[in-house]
């Protein structure tokens, strides 16, 4: 049989009352449970029984004792682990940095070589076009010279393969 109170059924508070007694209940929840306890005899009785059992267990069970140097050893171990973790993190970061730099250098080298190859190819194409243009002009000039026509204004009277650019 459930007894319903204004704040809900007592079964809803059973674990909260235990946590309140242990001191592990969140402050706002503890305030709500205290308000419930103020009006609920059943829950107050359960809290008192729980506290009595807890007190009997505390008296009956042996209390563990820590060695005198426990805190010092624990602090030293924590420092050692933190130091090792920092060193491991640093090594990993340095390795990642080296890998990234190697990748960037490889990409830059590849891009530079590709750029140089492209520039050489473009220069070769441009040079071939210029030579072809001069060859076509020379052919036109030689045809016009053999037909007796006057060369175009500004055109040298003779173009040969031995001519050099000045």
Estimate the crossing angle of helix 41-60 against helix 14-22, to 10 degrees.
50
Residue 158 phi/psi, 5-degree rounding, is: -140, 130
Q: What is the dihedral of CA 158, 163, 165, 166, to 10 degrees?
A: -80
Q: Can you give the pLDDT at residue 38? A: 94
Q: Can you give the pLDDT at residue 134? A: 77
Listed residue (45, 48, 51) closest to 22, CA to CA: 51
Q: Can you give the pLDDT at residue 132? A: 83
Domain ranges within the chain, ordered by starting residue: 4-60
Q: Can you give the pLDDT at residue 107? A: 77
Q: Can you give the pLDDT at residue 32? A: 94
Q: Can you give the pLDDT at residue 117? A: 75
Q: Can you give the pLDDT at residue 29? A: 94
Please give the chain's pLDDT, 166 residues, in tens. Answer: 444 444 445 888 889 998 998 899 999 999 999 999 999 999 998 899 888 998 999 899 888 888 899 889 989 988 888 888 888 888 888 888 888 888 877 777 776 667 777 777 888 888 888 888 778 777 777 776 666 655 555 555 555 544 444 4
- Judging by beta carbons within 10 Å of its beta carbon (0-12, 13-18, 19+), is residue 44 exposed, middle or buried? middle
Cα 76 vs. chain centroid, distance in angstroms?
32
CATH architecture of 4-60: Orthogonal Bundle (1.10)
- Judging by beta carbons within 10 Å of its beta carbon (0-12, 13-18, 19+), is residue 36 exposed, middle or buried? buried
166 Cβ contact list (under 8 Å, min separation 6): none
DSSP lists the bridge partners of residue 96 as: none
């Amino acid at each position: 049989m459930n007894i319903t109170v204004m704040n809900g059924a007592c079964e809803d508070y059973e674990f909260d009352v235990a946590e309140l007694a242990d001191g592990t209940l969140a402050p706002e929840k503890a305030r709500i449970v205290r308000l419930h306890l103020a009006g609920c005899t059943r829950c107050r009785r359960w809290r008192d029984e729980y506290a009595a059992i807890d007190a009997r267990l505390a008296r009956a069970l042996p209390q563990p004792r820590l060695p005198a140097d426990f805190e010092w050893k624990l602090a030293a171990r924590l420092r050692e682990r933190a130091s090792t973790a920092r060193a491991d993190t640093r090594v990993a970061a340095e390795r990642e940095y080296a890998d990234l730099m190697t990748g960037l250098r490889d990409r830059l080298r590849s891009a530079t070589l590709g750029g140089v190859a492209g520039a050489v190819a473009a220069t070769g194409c441009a040079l071939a076009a210029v030579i072809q243009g001069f060859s076509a002009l020379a052919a036109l000039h030689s045809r016009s010279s053999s037909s007796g026509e006057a060369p175009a204004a500004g055109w040298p009277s003779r173009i040969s393969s031995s001519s050099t650019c000045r």
